[in-house]
Amino acid sequence: MAVTIDVKADILGKNDAVAEELRNLFKEKHVFVLDLMGSPGCGKTTLLEKTMQALKDDINMAVIEGDLFTSKDADRIDRYGVPVVQINTAGGCHLDAPMIKKAIENIDLDKLDLLVIENVGNLVCPAEFDIGEQKRAVVLSITEGDDKPMKYPLMFKLASIVLLNKTDILKFCNFNLDGATEDIKTLNPGVEVLPVSCSLGDGLKPWLDWLREMVRSVK
């Protein structure tokens, strides 16, 4: 009889061991680590730009950018004078813990308060991979449709905070803000859901307050 091995379970098992090792290291160094996820074009990098503008003078930040091929996002971060490490996955659709372990060789954790990891744009498998983060944030653009939380539940179940982005064009989109919020809270009762416009900088205060609180909580 043929022997079948569960490759997925094995890959995830190895990943989780490295993720746990990273989480212990980040705890020891008092660094708050956030995994920032969402589809391509939902506004993750724009959110990061607004976040750096608001926090970089008070909080020592660094960013890891996960992308399939280019350094376009890392170049955007670099303009703010925040240390940034690019991971190119060469077509891989998510980041994993060994990639983060390699990337942090280039970051001085002793001086750091906050590390944001912008994951590869994808609502599916980034949710399955623990990368040693303390919390997860998900950005959902209202242009993607209000059915997405129920179609990609794991992403929303494991998030601590969800930003519903691009509210500035809400009137042009057939997006039910209350319905989507309710769906997200059905999947994940404790989650914070914030309607925001990252390009205009609207509604970001609770997000920035939450990040400050998280940074304080690991000191």
User: What are the residues binding Mg ion (CB under 5 A)?
Assistant: 44-45, 73
Q: How far is the CB of 45 from Mg ion (least distance, A)?
A: 3
Residue 114, Cβ density class (10 Å: 0-12 exposed, 13-18 middle, ≥19 buried): buried
**Closest separation in Å from C-beta 191 to Mg ion:** 22
CA gap 177, 166 in Å, rounded: 11
Q: How far is Cα 189 from Cα 76, in angstroms, rounded to an integer? A: 34
Give the three-class secondary structure for 117: strand
Rounded Cα distance, 133 and 19, in Å: 8
Q: Which residue is nearest to Mg ion (CB)?
A: 45
Of the pair 44, 166, the CB lying nearest Mg ion is at 44
CB-nearer residue toward Mg ion: 43 or 188: 43
Element (H, E) at 65: strand 61-67
Enter the tokens of residue 29: 């160094």
Which CB atom, from 125 or from 208, has the smaller least distance to Zn ion?
125
Closest CB to Mg ion among residues 45, 165: 45
Name which of Mg ion, Zn ion, none residue 45 binds, using a CB cut-off of 5 to 8 Å depending on partner kind. Answer: Mg ion
When the beta carbons of 125 and 218 are compared against Zn ion, the nearer one is 125
Asked if 34 and 214 count as a contact pair (C-beta separation under 8 A), the reply is yes
Residue number, 73 or 130, with CB nearest to Mg ion: 73
Give the binding site for Zn ion (CB under 5 A): 93-94, 125
Contacted entry of Mg ion, Zn ion, none for residue 44, CB cut-off 5 to 8 Å set by kind: Mg ion
Q: Token digits for 208?
A: 């920035």
Smallest separation, CB 125 to Zn ion (Å)? 3
Give the nearest distance from C-beta 211 to Mg ion in angstroms.
18
Query: β-pairing, 32-37 with 114-118?
Result: parallel
136 makes contact, choosing from Zn ion, Mg ion, none, with CB < 5 to 8 Å by partner type, with none
> Do residues 159 and 188 touch, judged by C-beta distance below 8 A?
yes
d(CA 136, CA 140): 13
Q: Which does 73 bind (CB under 5 to 8 A by kind): Mg ion, Zn ion, none?
A: Mg ion
CB of 44 to Mg ion, least distance (A): 5
User: Smallest distance from the beta carbon of 73 to Mg ion, in angstroms?
Assistant: 4
